[in-house]
Chain A
Amino acid sequence: MLKMTHLAKAFRTEVVETYALRDFSIHVRTGEFVAVTGPSGSGKTTFLNIAGLLETPTGGSYELDGEDVSRLGDDARSRIRNGKIGFIFQAFNLIPDLNIYDNVDVPLRYRKMSGAERKKRIGEALERVGLSARLRHYPAELSGGQQQRVAIARALAGSPKLLLADEPTGNLDSQMARAVMQLLEEIHRDGATIVMVTHDPELAARAQRNVHVIDGQVVDLGEAPTLRMNVAANA
């Protein structure tokens, strides 16, 4: 599903060149739930931005769903983001001026989907996250956990092939975080490919596979079944 090979991302000024990612290689298979961990400034967000086609790499190659996307133009990247990728952000990133229904509708409208199809998908997505009774509420009228569930509904409504989650529970208390995490696990069980960036080892342990990033490079790949089991036992 996602394959980065010797990927690099450098930020250049006139005097200095800083690498956020260097010789970064990762392969996420379809249906996997991968957690990307690492300390602040390690390059996790840059990886997520490139994986989500929000930024372009300065070197290496990136294949998404079998297509080389590392050299695509802006419009093509927008279309792939809209059609194949669902985002879940730490800060929820709902549009405050739109109600819940319209928020979930945003990416579907960019896809030029028919009104009836959009309505069906929005209904199903909000039903799935348990917020179908709050269609006309605005984000400010919801709790953090509810807002994140709306964001998940927005990501799911487009039936993405890849779900990218950036610290999805970072702004939530533990109870809400647990609910959101359970939701992600359900979504994964239904066949979704999920890549989750987190600095929380407990959350990472609930993923199928962990990828640790330090100084812009992947330093450790491996499954964490024990920890996952422990976390599950504690939940």
Chain B
Amino acid sequence: MDIAPIIAALKRQKTAAALIAIEIALSCAIICNVLFLITHRLERSHVPSGVVEDELVYIRTAGIGASGGDDPMVRAREDRAALASIPGVKSATIINQIPFGHSSWNTGVKLAADQQQTSANVGAYYADEHMLDSFGVKLIAGRQFTSDEFLNFDDVLKGKSDPPSSMIITKTLARRLFGDENAIGKNIYLDDTKPTRVIGIVEHLIRPNFGSDLIDADSSMILPVRLSLGYGQFVLRTDPGNRDAVIAAARKKLKEVSPNRIVLDAKTLESARSDYFKQDRVMAGLLVAVVISLLIVTALGIVGLASFWVQRRRRQIGIRRALGATRRQILHYFQTENFLIVTVGIVIGMGAAYAISGWLMHQYELPRLPLYYLPVGAVALWLLGQLSVLAPALRAASVPPATATRTV
């Protein structure tokens, strides 16, 4: 199909064509960004936690030790042992925070004692000797903690001990702090006094709360600090099919150990992830609805204008048919015309998409729209345009050539 005469004819219909092109441009700009936001939200909700989510349950309690006057450190160990003895429990640990949990422990770390600014803000897991097994985190370099490296949290809290001598960090944090260098053996400062040596690297360990930056989300460290009950929660590892039974048994077991205990939460880690990303899913759903609505409105606009043009140019179509145009050539005429208008809209829309992305970056600290979204959006709108114009174009193609000789 020769486009020159179509362009020539469109120049005589500037206003209507421009309106549709603008509609397409707006749709292109909005759809590219919204699709990116949806993908970003969904990517975030699928971020790897680094733990064996389908095998874990967690239990948060309150009121422990308030009435008995027991040593909370001792009680913590006894409770953990009691929970570990439940049939089907492979391992149990007491920990300060869990991925997708309610509380988040974070600290700034430095690479030198006299460094003014911290090098990174890091999620800090205070772990006993059962943590790595219980969480199922994958140690990819270095070693686990030895028993002499563990500190008691109460001593740390009261300033009775130095910072831990060793730590395990995530691969992401290692790369963030040390680039391509081997992080094992490197020192990290938690305060201005003594360094903590990196002794191991795990594949992933997500911090409980994180934003849109997935590198920041995976910046965690594990410190060998045994918690007392007031600061910890239990995490039990079991077979996926056993989780509900283990939760019920754990509730019972904790009540046996101390009847004054209140179980605040007892859930699977999968449900914690689901709850954590609930808002993201709702938002993604809303954005999908926005995209669909926009596509429908755009399609209706194209259908409306194309139908109007077909109706208005009915005689002209008849003349073209009389002069020898086949039905296919009439169909192609309207399809090409639509393609040209949509293309103009897409070109403008791509610029607008990038501008909106820049504004979103500035306003909401979102990442820049990846360029590959632009051709994806363009193809989607070209398809939408062709689909929308098909029915009016087919109607045009069905105009009989004898229309040319009718005087009314």
Contacts and interface: CB of A to CB of B under 8 A. Distances in A.
B41 interface: no
A95 B316 contact: yes
B13 interface: yes
A109 B323 CA distance: 10
B62 to A, nearest CB: 78
Q: Which of B324, B328, B329 has most chain A Cβ within 10 Å?
A: B324
B405 interface: yes
Interface string A103-116: 00111011100000
Interface string A81-96: 1110001011101011
A97 B12 CA distance: 6
A54 B325 contact: no
Interface string B382-408: 000000000000000000111011010
Interface string B313-334: 0011001111111111100000
Chain B: interface size category: 20 to 34
Q: Which of B315, B319, B320 has most chain A Cβ within 10 Å?
A: B319
A105 B323 CA distance: 11
Given A98-B5, A109-B2, A109-B5, A82 B402 contact: no
Interface string B40-83: 00000000000000000000000000000000000000000000
B2 A74 contact: no
B327 A98 contact: no
Contacts of A81: 322-324, 401
Given A102-B5, A110-B329, A48 B405 contact: yes
Given A54-B402, A87-B404, A95-B319, A107 B9 contact: no
Contacts of B2: 109
Do most interface residues of chain B lie in helix, strand or loop, or is the interface mixed?
Answer: helix
B15 to A, nearest CB: 13
Contact of B8 (A49, A91, A99): A99
B104 to A, nearest CB: 66
A91 B329 contact: no
Contacts of A98: 5, 8-9
B324 A45 contact: no
B371 to A, nearest CB: 37
Contacts of A89: 319, 404-405
A52 interface: yes
A172 B247 CA distance: 96
Contact of B405 (A54, A82, A83, A138): A54
Interface of A: 45, 48-49, 52-55, 74-75, 78-79, 81-83, 87, 89-91, 93, 95-99, 102, 105-107, 109-111, 138, 154, 166
Interface of B: 2, 5, 8-9, 12-13, 315-316, 319-329, 400-402, 404-405, 407
